[in-house]
Structure 1
Amino acid sequence: MTKMLASVTGVEEAEIALSGQVDIIDLKNPSAGALGAAALETIRATVVSVDGRRPVSAVAGDLPMQPEVIRARVEEIAATGVDYVKIGFFPSSENAACAAALEPIARRVKLVAVLFADLGTDFALLPVLAGHGFHGVMVDTARKGGGRLLDHMAVARVDAFVAAAKANGLMVGLAGSLEAPDVPRLLPFAPDFLGFRGALCAAAGRTGAIDADAVVKIRALIPEEASAARSAGVDYRLLAARGYAPGSIDPTLGTDRIFVRDFVLPVEIGAYSFEHGHTQKVRFDVSADVLRVTERPEDMRHVVSYDIIMDGIRAIVARGHVELSETLAEQVAALVLESPRVVRVVVRVEKLELGPGGVGVEIERKRADSKAARKGPSASDARPGRAGDERKGALP
């Protein structure tokens, strides 16, 4: 289950975050850089105020990659009683030495390494961190105002980063000037937490005070742990990522149609030997009928984002060679139908370099029981690929 981390400056903002049901309280000084450290007395006071209601983390500051300097600072922050200490790992030949110097502390407090998408994310550091007892790793952006996480890290690389971190036994988080539209795009990769600061400060920017309404808006996009009363078969993280809240579907509202047209990517595809070992241009057209949840959509809670379709296609393509256009179309259709709100999808996959015109396939898939879907998804409906097997001749 993905958790929500909110970066706060002290006791007052921590209480706002707690009122908004944030999962992890993270202390920093946003005026002092990407990982500006809060004063030790502020950290201690906040730990006392939170009083175990939520885990508390604190950043160590924008420090030079010098093992003894980093170790001394982390020792100070660990002594405040926080649950996690976050340490920035900037590109340096000393990264492995810094990780080794922190191993004794890692036996006493959970350490989380912070890597930076805009400075280059070194996947080779992940096993090193795990080997020295780090609890987790996250990717952030170092230059605030210089773009969001997804401006610097392609979705396929985000997917690979999360998978590589988990393969090394590390808790994994994603941050970096994230905004509300980024949440449904990142949740399908199943990070352990998403981190926010600027998006919680409304129009004030990351150095302003966090705003209670902005916290609630982001919190609503990241579902909390399912209670025992809920069906264990339904992935509520996935449902929320696709814009669904339990009990919110009114069948009288009907459907909307979202679409992605003329989306062209280089793809390793083809059954012939001459098609192996290189890419060719493939055009994707996708149209999905989506159950509405309100007559007046106002924010990301009310929609199924077309960004999810494009991100999903990119992730599928990044997996490697696909023999058949039909296989690729089925994978895209299954991806879109993972959304409990999608009742029908049409996918066209068109290879553009095999002649004067395009060649390919178009398929239509429906949720097996679209009537039941309009009443609200069951556990079986929520599973990927729960679709009928129909083909049509033209896009609607």
Structure 2
Amino acid sequence: MTRMLASVTGVDEAEIALSGGVDIVDLKDPKAGALGAVSTQTIRRTISFIAGRAPVSAVCGDLPMEPETIRGKAEEIAATGVDYVKIGFFPSENVSACAAALEPLAARTKLIAVLFADLAPDFELLPMLAKHRFHGAMVDTAIKANGRLLDHLPPERIPGFINRAKSLGLIVGLSGSLETPDIPRLLPFAPDFLGFRGALCGNSGRVASISAEAVAQIRELVPEESRAGGPSSVDYRLLAARGYSPGTDPTLGTDKIFVRDFVLPVQIGAYSFEHGHTQKVRFDVTADVLQVTDHPEDMRHVFSYDIIMDGIRTIVARGHVQLSEALAEQVATYILENPRVVRVTVRVEKLELGPGGVGVEIERKRQTAGR
């Protein structure tokens, strides 16, 4: 289950976040940079206010990659009693030394390493972080004016990061100026948490105060775990995420969501001359999607075509595929994992084997009764 992390500046915003049902309260000063730190006094006051109702994390600030500097600040933040300490790992020759300096603290506090999608992150650092007993790793953006996470880390690269981190025993988070359309695109990759700041401030920018309305909208898009002793507060009819039944009303019918003439370079083919290089392949996909409302207003009410394109990119990035039929089946299976999709047609057409296109078109339906 993916959890929702909300970055707040102190007690007042923490109250809004808790009322909106966020899973993790993260303390950050957005006016002081990507990982701007709040004071330890603010952290202690907020922890006291939250009183165990949700885990609390706090950032250490945009610090230089100097082992003693980072260790000292992380120790200071950890001493407040937060559940997680987030530490930025900027590109530097001292990355390994910084991680090693934090290992004694990592033995008693959950440390989260923050890598930056817009600074050419090195995911080969993940084994080093696991070696030095870090609890998790996440990807954020360092320069907020330069775009969102997906502008710098394309969807096809995300599964590699998440799967590698999880195989090493690290929890995984994604953040970086995320907006509501990004949520259904990222949920299928099953990160442990998604982090938000700017999207919680409405249209006012990340340095403004968060709003209850914006928190509620994000909360409804991220499936909420049921609290002990009570049901989830989320209306699951509005979910469009993989693995969660939307409880749609079948009388509303279906919409056709399509992607046409989507051309990618693909490693494909059974012949020897088709190995070792890519060839252009065109994808045409139509998905019959259950409606959740007659009056769609925002991302809670729709199935995004980005999910289809992201799925195709992710499958293609895995490597060589022998058969067009196999590629079409993989795409259909990926799309049908979304519980709102009841039928999908996938056309895979190889464009470089002659004067015309050749390929295959398949139709697959959801088999589960009642869907």
TM bracket (short chain): over 0.9
Report the residue type matching 1:183 in the other structure. I
Verify the 8 A CA contact 1:244 1:301 in the aligned structure 2. Answer: no
The alpha-carbon deviation at position 156 of structure 1 amounts to 1.4
Q: Distance in 2 between matches of 1:309 and 1:367?
A: 16
Verify the 8 A CA contact 1:284 1:349 in the aligned structure 2. Answer: yes
Partner secondary structure for residue 124 of structure 1: helix
Verify the 8 A CA contact 1:222 1:240 in the aligned structure 2. Answer: no
1:252 aligns with 2:251: yes
Residues 159-238 of structure 1: pairs in structure 2 closer than 5 A: 159-226=159-226
Q: Distance in 2 between matches of 1:39 and 1:184?
A: 34
The residue aligned with 1:51 is: 51
Detail structure 1 runs of 4+ shifted over 6 Å in the superposition.
Answer: 227-230
Verify the 8 A CA contact 1:243 1:304 in the aligned structure 2. Answer: no
The alpha-carbon deviation at position 39 of structure 1 amounts to 1.0
The residue aligned with 1:309 is: 308
Q: Please list the CA deviations of residues 292-345 of structure 1 after superposition, one character each: whole Å capped at 9, or x if unmatched.
A: 110001111111111000000000001110000000011111111112211111
The residue aligned with 1:274 is: 273
Partner secondary structure for residue 119 of structure 2: coil
Distance 1:87 1:369, change over 3 A: closer
How many percent identity over aligned positions?
A: 74
Report the residue type matching 2:348 in the other structure. V
The residue aligned with 2:298 is: 299
| Alignment TM-score, normalising by the size of structure 1 | 0.89
Q: Distance in 1 between matches of 2:10 and 2:210?
A: 11
The alpha-carbon deviation at position 102 of structure 1 amounts to 0.6
Q: Distance in 2 between matches of 1:3 and 1:227?
A: 12
Report the residue type matching 2:159 in the other structure. D
The residue aligned with 2:11 is: 11
The alpha-carbon deviation at position 241 of structure 1 amounts to 1.2
Verify the 8 A CA contact 1:242 1:305 in the aligned structure 2. Answer: no
Residues 93-112 of structure 1: pairs in structure 2 closer than 5 A: 93-112=93-112
Query: Cα RMSD over matched residues?
Result: 1.8
The residue aligned with 2:114 is: 114
The residue aligned with 1:265 is: 264
The residue aligned with 1:88 is: 88
Residues 302-381 of structure 1: pairs in structure 2 closer than 5 A: 302-368=301-367, 372-373=370-371
Count of equivalent residues: 365
| Alignment TM-score, normalising by the size of structure 2 | 0.95
Partner secondary structure for residue 145 of structure 1: helix
Q: Distance in 1 between matches of 2:10 and 2:170?
A: 28
The alpha-carbon deviation at position 368 of structure 1 amounts to 2.4
The residue aligned with 2:233 is: none
203-212 or 331-340: which moved more? 331-340
The alpha-carbon deviation at position 72 of structure 1 amounts to 0.7
Partner secondary structure for residue 145 of structure 2: coil
The residue aligned with 1:29 is: 29
Q: Distance in 2 between matches of 1:368 and 1:251?
A: 16
Verify the 8 A CA contact 2:187 2:242 in the aligned structure 1. Answer: no
Gaps of 5+ in 1: 231-235, 374-396
The alpha-carbon deviation at position 159 of structure 1 amounts to 1.1
Report the residue type matching 1:275 in the other structure. E
Verify the 8 A CA contact 1:21 1:219 in the aligned structure 2. Answer: yes
Verify the 8 A CA contact 1:243 1:302 in the aligned structure 2. Answer: no
Q: Distance in 1 between matches of 2:6 and 2:362?
A: 43
Distance 1:75 1:110, change over 3 A: same
The residue aligned with 2:155 is: 155
The alpha-carbon deviation at position 360 of structure 1 amounts to 0.3
Q: Distance in 1 between matches of 2:228 and 2:11?
A: 32
Q: Distance in 2 between matches of 1:251 and 1:189?
A: 28
Q: Distance in 1 between matches of 2:244 and 2:45?
A: 38
Q: Distance in 1 between matches of 2:130 and 2:368?
A: 45
Verify the 8 A CA contact 1:244 1:341 in the aligned structure 2. Answer: no
Partner secondary structure for residue 183 of structure 2: helix
Q: Distance in 2 between matches of 1:228 and 1:106?
A: 29
Distance 1:103 1:242, change over 3 A: closer
